[in-house]
Amino acid sequence: MVVEDDAALAALFCDVLIDMGFEVCAVASTARGAETAALRYQPDLMIVDAQLREGDGVAAVNEIRLVRPVAYVVMTGNPAALYGLEPGALVLHKPFSETELAKAIALAVAKSAPGH
């Protein structure tokens, strides 16, 4: 699942995920939309922008993870937006390359694997 309020970036993230063999179950542009989509589709992985035009991506991740565990990568151009994120969370600081995104996705998935 992709949570990003910039449509062009959301499309790029979807392309990277698909190229890595993932299926994108939903794209949300608001924190509320992310929470609703996560409950409906129960994604295994989320790519989340920390600061959305409507809502807080970090708060949405925290709410979703109260219901069920899910691998995630948080992206930000503003490190202050990461307040409330658990220590050790995978964070990409904008700008970043597609290669860096792919590496972060692979690490998030590996980190959330059973027994890890």
> How do residues 5-18 score in pLDDT, each as one tens digit?
999 999 989 998 99
DSSP conformation class of 56: B
Look at residue 19 and tell me whether its pLDDT is greater than 60: yes
Whole-model pTM? 0.91
2-3 vs 45-49, strand pairing mode: parallel
Confidence tier at 113 by pLDDT (50, 70, 90): confident
Domains of the chain by start residue, with CATH: 8-69 (3.40.50.2300)
| pLDDT tens digits for range 33-78 | 999 999 999 999 999 999 999 999 999 999 999 999 999 999 998 8
The DSSP bridge partners found for residue 27 are 2
DSSP 61-81: HHHHHHHS--EEEEEES-GGG
The DSSP bridge partners found for residue 31 are none
| pLDDT tens digits for range 66-99 | 999 999 999 998 887 788 888 888 899 988 898 9
Look at residue 116 and tell me whether its pLDDT is greater than 70: no
